[in-house]
Amino acid sequence: MALKSTNPIQTESWKQLQSHFEIIKSKHLKTLFSSNANRANDLTIKWEDFYVDFSKNRITTETLDLLLQLANELDLKDAISKYFEGDIINATEGRAVLHTALRTSKGAAIFVDGENVIPEVYEVKEKIKTFTYAIVNGEHKGYTGKAITDIVNIGIGGSDLGPAMVVDSLQYYKNHLNAHFVSNVDGDHHREVIKNLNPETTLFVIVSKTFTTQETLSNANSIRDWFLESQPEAAVSKHFVAVSTNIESVKAFGIDEVNIFPMKDWVGGRFSLWSAVGLSISLALGYENFESLLNGAHKMDEHFKTTDFKDNIPVVSALLTIWYNNFFKAESEAIIPYTQYLNQFATYLQQGIMESNGKSIDRDGNTVNYQTGTLIWGEPGTNSQHAFFQLIHQGTKLIPADFIGFVESLHGNRDHHDKLMSNYFAQTEALMNGKTEAEVLSELKKQSLSENEIEKLVPFKVFEGNKPTTSILIQKLTPESLGKLIAMYEHKIFVQGIIWNIYSYDQFGVELGKQLAKSILKELNSAENSSKHDSSTQNLVAFYRDNR
Ligand code: F6P
């Protein structure tokens, strides 16, 4: 069954939220804390190894009640059932959205077109497992009889960002294989990656859901040409495998059927790391760690599916985005992990969140008359404190931020970890409290400054504070906890899409540029100037062609 369609701003709850916003908008978080001694507890959700404190957000328990009422009025419960049960909720592409099926238990039954998809999910997992063992244990040898030492994932977008982020984030758990990622069509990218590789000991994993993507096919072709400069054609089957839904095109590329890891069209590219797209994860971290990642995600799926909305981490988190985006008119959200391991996490989420919810047509085909998708950005703390935090503290924009931290460090260096985490706690407190004029005055008076100098400096040193943050504290970075965290954001994306009444699982917006690039590529190789373009594009193309 299709998802229901209701303009959210026409609901009773939205109207109530609008009036409530008029009361909340000028309230300082400090006042909200002083008027409710139990605030931190009231607005914290503890689940498994997750401690999620929403209390430093510009809400009261009444705000949350109204947001939950909005979710109920828009029948989020019904939408969640459709999502998990394989209904065609990606209606514009006529597909189910079932990345959750990739991490569910073996005994589950989920039907697409009348067929239970779970047996095939487990068949593919078995194939990933067997292949991983053979590569990691050195049983699968390269053509010249040497064990594989390096793997290169060739893919882009969802066929790159998820595996690359997970392998980097979980590098502490890595085995001896060196993992590399080639994505950009920029020829310098793959050249830099392969320049020191030995073709005799390298495995190339070509990942493309459609197997039509220009970047991936160009990189795969160029890398195969480089491989064939030193190896015979017969060696290809030992060194090239592929992940795709498009089995015929993979075979036409020259890859043996046994070397193809299939995926289904009900797995969206940006949600595909749980499928065979995660082959590089399994190879680099070992199959058991890949399985733990999936188990973690499955636990979050169960939490999301079965927990009351008020205690439901992805639901509350998504509703806060609606609150800031649509009422406070905040345009972006920052993701600040306090671990260098999650260096690529914000980049990964940019595709997940912005490709999904960057839409302006509602589920009835009308242009929306409210804001949708937020801009996502971020970098790990403490580095980001020395880069862009100034703007969050004292700039003119409201930027809600998720602070993600871990109680335990992986290498156990307590001294450094305490320093890291004290920065995490201090920043969320500073963003909330700011610094009043009285505090600034008292600080300045302790310095040997004249009254005149003090007066001039005061306005620059005052921090308004009242900057919202959500503190996500997790016991330890493990494959399982990372699986939970990624799934949390996946469900957050889903809830936002339901409330905004948009389709989150297509991405037609990226097509136009791709089509134009194809026709411009032809023109770059013809002597004729095209008159099809505007004068700016025409001049740029001509300048490039004449000077390359
Ligand atoms: O950027 C558009 C997109 O279709 C993404 O959604 C997808 O993850 C990426 O291209 C790669 O697509 P494919 O896996 O089919 O090569």
- Domain with residue 417: its CATH number is 3.40.50.10490
Question: Is 56 annotated as catalytic?
Answer: no
Answer yes or no: is the C-beta of 382 below 6 A from any ligand 1 atom: no
Per-residue pLDDT tens for 140-186? 999 999 999 999 999 999 999 999 999 999 999 999 999 999 999 99
What is the tally of structural domains in the chain? 4
Do 413 and 475 lie in one domain? The reply is yes
Answer yes or no: is the C-beta of 352 below 6 A from any ligand 1 atom: no
Nearest CA to 197 out of 217, 160, 226, 175 is that of 226
Report the alpha-carbon angle 52-66-500, nearest 5.
Answer: 85
Do 451 and 396 lie in one domain? The reply is no
Q: How confident is the model at residue 526 (pLDDT cuts 50, 70, 90)?
A: confident
- Angle of helix 214-228 relative to helix 511-524, nearest 10 degrees, comes to 50
- Which residues, listed in sequence order, are joined to residue 377 by a DSSP beta bridge? 334
Residue at 137 is within a domain: yes
Nearest CA to 545 out of 517, 513, 523 is that of 523
Contact status, residue 268 vs residue 158, Cβ threshold 8 Å: yes
Residue at 79 is within a domain: no
Do 116 and 250 lie in one domain? The reply is yes
Do 313 and 325 lie in one domain? The reply is yes
DSSP string, 237-259: HHHEEEEES-HHHHHHHT--GGG
Per-residue pLDDT tens for 86-115? 999 999 999 999 999 999 999 999 999 999
Residue at 514 is within a domain: no
CA of 22 to the centre of ligand 1 (A): 42
Residue at 508 is within a domain: no
How much of the chain exceeds pLDDT 70, in percent? 100
Per-residue pLDDT tens for 205-237? 999 999 999 999 999 999 999 999 999 999 999
Residue at 3 is within a domain: no
Residue at 255 is within a domain: yes
| pLDDT of res. 515 | 85
Q: Name the closest-CA residue to atom 2, ligand 1.
A: 510
- Domain final residue, candidates 291, 319, 338: 291
Q: Name the closest-CA residue to atom 8, ligand 1.
A: 158
Ligand 1 atom closest to 277 (CA): 14
- Which residues, listed in sequence order, are joined to residue 51 by a DSSP beta bridge? 46, 473
Do 395 and 440 lie in one domain? The reply is no
- Domain final residue, candidates 242, 257, 291: 291
- Residue 49 is given by DSSP the state T
For a ligand 1 pocket test, name from 95, 154, 159, 274 the mutation site with the most ligand atoms within 8 angstroms of its C-beta. Answer: 159
Q: How confident is the model at residue 430 (pLDDT cuts 50, 70, 90)?
A: very high
Q: Which two tokens stand for residue 100?
A: 């959750």
**Residue 87 to residue 95: CA distance in whole angstroms:** 8
Do 473 and 463 lie in one domain? The reply is no
Question: Is 355 annotated as catalytic?
Answer: yes
Do 200 and 158 lie in one domain? The reply is yes
Residue at 23 is within a domain: yes
- Torsions phi, psi for 28 (to 5 deg): -90, 145
Residue at 80 is within a domain: no
| pLDDT of res. 513 | 85
Answer yes or no: is the C-beta of 157 below 6 A from any ligand 1 atom: yes
Which are the contacts of 172, defined by CB distance < 8 A and separation ≥ 6? 341, 410, 411, 477
| pLDDT of res. 518 | 87
Residue 179 is which amino acid? Answer: A
Does residue 68 carry a pLDDT above 90?
A: yes
**Residue 391 to residue 491: CA distance in whole angstroms:** 29
For a ligand 1 pocket test, name from 92, 95, 154, 156 the mutation site with the most ligand atoms within 8 angstroms of its C-beta. Answer: 156
**Residue 359 to residue 372: CA distance in whole angstroms:** 7
Do 343 and 392 lie in one domain? The reply is yes
Q: Name the closest-CA residue to atom 10, ligand 1.
A: 157
Q: In what order do the strands lie in the sheet with 375-377?
A: 44-47, 50-53, 469-474, 401-406, 332-337, 375-377
Answer yes or no: is the C-beta of 199 below 6 A from any ligand 1 atom: no
Question: Is 446 annotated as catalytic?
Answer: no
Answer yes or no: is the C-beta of 208 below 6 A from any ligand 1 atom: yes
Ligand 1 atom closest to 272 (CA): 8
Do 325 and 382 lie in one domain? The reply is yes
Q: Name the closest-CA residue to atom 9, ligand 1.
A: 157
Q: Which of 355, 379, 480, 490 is catalytic?
A: 355
* pLDDT mean over 504-514: 92
Q: Which of 176, 386, 411, 522 is catalytic?
A: 386
Nearest CA to 333 out of 353, 316, 360 is that of 353
Do 495 and 371 lie in one domain? The reply is yes
Q: What three-state secondary structure class fits 337?
A: strand
Ligand 1 atom closest to 155 (CA): 16
Contact status, residue 194 vs residue 185, Cβ threshold 8 Å: no
| pLDDT of res. 140 | 97
Do 281 and 374 lie in one domain? The reply is no
Handedness of CA 32, 33, 35, 36 (dihedral sign): positive
What ipTM is given for this predicted complex?
A: 0.98
Do 161 and 59 lie in one domain? The reply is no
Q: Which of 46, 416, 514, 532 is catalytic?
A: 514
Q: Which domain holds residue 535?
A: 521-548
**Residue 220 to residue 233: CA distance in whole angstroms:** 15
